[in-house]
Amino acid sequence: MSARVEADLLGPVEVPAEALFGAQTQRAIGNFPAGHQRTIGSFPRLVRALLLVKKAAARTNGQIGCLPEIAARTVERAADRLLEAIPAGQFPVHYLHGGGGTSANMNVNEVLANVSEELLGGRPGEYRQFHPNDHINLNQSTNDVYPTACHMAVIFQWQGLRAALDALAEALDGVTRRWGGGPWLARTCLQDAVDIRLGDYFGGLVSQVRRLRERLDSAVDRLHIVNLGGTICGRDEDAPAAYRERIVANLAAVTGDDGYRQAGDLFDAAQNADELLAVSAALDILARSLVKIAGDFRLLGSGPEAGLGELHLPGVQPGSSVMPGKVNPVIPEFVMQVAFRVMGNHAMCAAGLDHGELDLNVWESSMTFAVLESMELLESGLTAFTDKCVAGLQPNAVVNAAHVQSLLPRLTRLARRYGYQRVTEVCQRAPSDPQALRALLDKAFPEEPPDREALA
């Protein structure tokens, strides 16, 4: 493979001749070998965010006279060209690279510089008209560019997950609309409790999913607060006042999202990543809630003869290599495994907040990738759960009707009418024989209305 030679602080570096990246990216490839692991190029929303930040910076630098107008417009054109079809292979840095995101920032700087060169007739690696640091990174630092892009990437990623949550809520609500009037046995401590309607149980799930979505919506919206313009650690002498005053407005313009606003305290924004952890915490709560919901479905669909059997879950694949006819609840199990991984990612995010020493949290990068992966996983899990499980499930009306005839609902009704103590005294005469207890109840309370009168 032919190569060109570039140089950086540490000396000459061989770079593939046709690569759009340069010396610092090439060093990162050697320092952080990706192998078969993910690179920043496999997170297109982060690359998109970085390109949009650079586009906004070029526009701002052109407006205030720090870049010639032709240069600013060329960088914007280069960013637009890359945004049309992000070339993932040109962003080969391992996603867990050291340095607080410097390698990722320089990767984008180098690619934009080289595409800008090409637009004006130059060749990659020449940097005659556009230098990665002097022009593309002008009035910026990794310390404000990268955290801003991290926030933006999560906002972009949230759109798909939000739609998946809305779809799940709608599908669960559809179950309530179709079957909600049917009988249902509530359970507490995995023991029979009282008779309710199927819609009571599923309505609770709908309410929960919508609340989870609202919590995440609020947490993600807070990420519109960015430290762009804060450069190294927040001090105001590292970028012109005119740049700091315009950069976030231009970011809003290039993204088409007017929600972006500059942090009130740029030092705080550089030091702390708690807003990002809040998103991870909301994802963790979502994951744990999905474990409960999917676990319930596994229990409710257990059987077919010796389990609860109160729900018919759609069969999507054979369940055993040796037991003919067996069908497993693989979709709820998929959702639960996705959730387990999200819980692990949250632990990584929490550690990132814990170790944000002194004036910059350099772990915001790893926190962001954990959040992005969690969002990707949850979107996939929720889509499968909605389409392949919830949309096709049906209650087992015969089993549910039989289960609500169990003793505990009847005993609860009797206690309301005759008093807890009186009913308990009857129970003590047949503590472990349901049939004998039913006969005693018939004798002790002959005037009791039929068991299902309450649901008539």
Question: Which residues are known to be catalytic?
Answer: 320
Pairing of strands 261-262, 311-312: unpaired
The residues pairing with 11 across neighbouring beta strands, listed in sequence order, are 8
Opening angle at CA 145, ends 142 and 147, nearest 5: 95
Q: Which residues are CB-contacts of 75 (< 8 A; sequence separation ≥ 6)?
A: 54, 55, 58, 67, 112, 116, 130, 135, 136
**CA of 114: how far to CAs of 18, 122, 257, 328, in Å?**
10, 8, 28, 53
Q: Give the C-alpha separation, 430 to 151, whole Å.
A: 63
CA 199 from centroid of its chain's CA atoms: 28
Opening angle at CA 357, ends 351 and 362, nearest 5: 70
Terminal-residue alpha carbon distance, the chain: 80
Decide: helix, strand or coil at residue 208: helix
Opening angle at CA 79, ends 78 and 83, nearest 5: 120
* Helices 407-418/434-444 angle, 10° precision: 30
- Classify the C-alpha dihedral 25-60-254-140 as positive or negative: positive
- Classify the C-alpha dihedral 86-339-165-350 as positive or negative: negative
- Tell me the two tokens of residue 226: 């960015």
